[in-house]
Amino acid sequence: MTVIEAPQQRSAWLSAQPVALIRENARTRSITLQVPGWPGHRPGQHLDLRLTAEDGYQAARSYSIASVARGDLITITVERVENGEVSPYLVDELQVGDRLDVRGPIGGHFVWTAEQGGPVLLVAGGSGVVPLMSMVRHRFEIGSDIPITLLYSLRAPQDLIYGAELAQRHAAADGLQVLLTYTREVPAQWRGYRRRIDRAMLAEAMGPAGPEGHAFVCGSAPFVEAVAEPLIQLGYPVERVKTERFGPSGERT
């Protein structure tokens, strides 16, 4: 396996303040945080977020970063885990001007920057799209022409996040292709995929380039298993398939 970068130095907890809140869907919202002293991050990395109650009790969780590094502003996208301790507060209660703490960035494996080259196949299950969105945004931010295909599996139309942005970037037809598949319920007049991701769908998403470049798979553990295995069968070398799994109680967005 390839080591991408030297170890990061100790990261301290930094004070963070929400400056923008965007409702992505009924269960999910994006939170833009202003974090003075944020050291920057690479697409795919995550952060630890900590809440402190009046009585001093603290709870911390990891969340994927959805944005590119842009000064001291970072955006996370959080999905509410029912009966969760942290995510319901972030999705339903947090307001602009509140305070919390973050540290990071964390993780140096599930990372893609344009220097690594392409093409790139991104495969998302549900909220697994979040760290992959950071990679998509990075490509646009630096004006890269590396081809990226995002294959994004959703149960139903109301689960979609980043819908407008993805549609817009796809329509620009400059090398980002977005393929959606709906597994339970499809939008009206839907002509696209309507099944779980399988080997045939992955082969189509790879296109004529075949198993070249890098593949990133993010979603629930069963989703990642169901995608990574056929990618290997289709010829991707194991070291070029990077995965991030959200445990059922992991609250990783």
Partner 1 sequence: MTNVSRGFRGRQQATREDTRVPPGQYVTTEFPVLSAGPTPRTPLSQWDFTVEAEGEREPLVRWSWDEFRALPSEAITRDIHCVTRWSKLDTRWRGVSLDTLLDAAGVELPFLVAHCDGGYTTNLPWEDVTGGRAWIVYDYEGQPLAPEHGGPARLLVPHLYFWKSAKWVRGLRLASQDDPGFWEVLGYHNHGDPFKEQRYDGD
Residues 129-168, buried b or exposed e (16+ Cβ, 10 A)?
Answer: bbbbbbbbbbbeeeebebbbbbbbbbeebebbbbbeebee
Distances (CA, A) of 208 to 116, 204, 205, 231: 20, 8, 9, 15
Q: Which range in 45-53, 66-74, 169-177, 179-187 contacts partner 1 by CB under 8 A? A: 45-53
Binds partner 1 by CB under 8 A, chosen from 40, 52, 167, 209: 52
The mark string for 209-238 relative to partner 1 (x by CB under 8 A, - otherwise) is ------------x---x--xx-xx-----x
Residue whose CB is less far from partner 1, 89 or 140? 89
Report the candidate in 154, 147, 223 with the shortest Cα–Cα distance to residue 183: 154
Binds partner 1 by CB under 8 A, chosen from 25, 34, 73, 89: 89
Residue 189 binds partner 1 (CB under 8 A): no
In sequence order, the β-bridge partners of residue 217 are 123, 243
Q: In angstroms, what is the minimal distance from the CB of 107 to partner 1? A: 7
Residue 82 binds partner 1 (CB under 8 A): no
Q: Residue 48, CB half-sphere, CA atoms under 13 Å: how many? A: 12
Residue 109 binds partner 1 (CB under 8 A): yes
Binds partner 1 by CB under 8 A, chosen from 34, 62, 113, 116: 62
**CB-CB neighbours of 115 under 10 Å:** 9
Residue 166 binds partner 1 (CB under 8 A): no
Q: Residue 37, CB half-sphere, CA atoms under 13 Å: how many? A: 11
Are the C-beta atoms of residues 148 and 159 closer than 8 Å to each other? no
Residue whose CB is less far from partner 1, 54 or 115? 54
Which amino acid makes up residue 253?
T
Site residues (CB under 8 A) for partner 1?
1, 3-4, 7-16, 51-54, 57-62, 85, 89, 93-95, 98-101, 103, 106-110, 221, 225, 228-229, 231-232, 238-239, 241-243, 245-250, 252
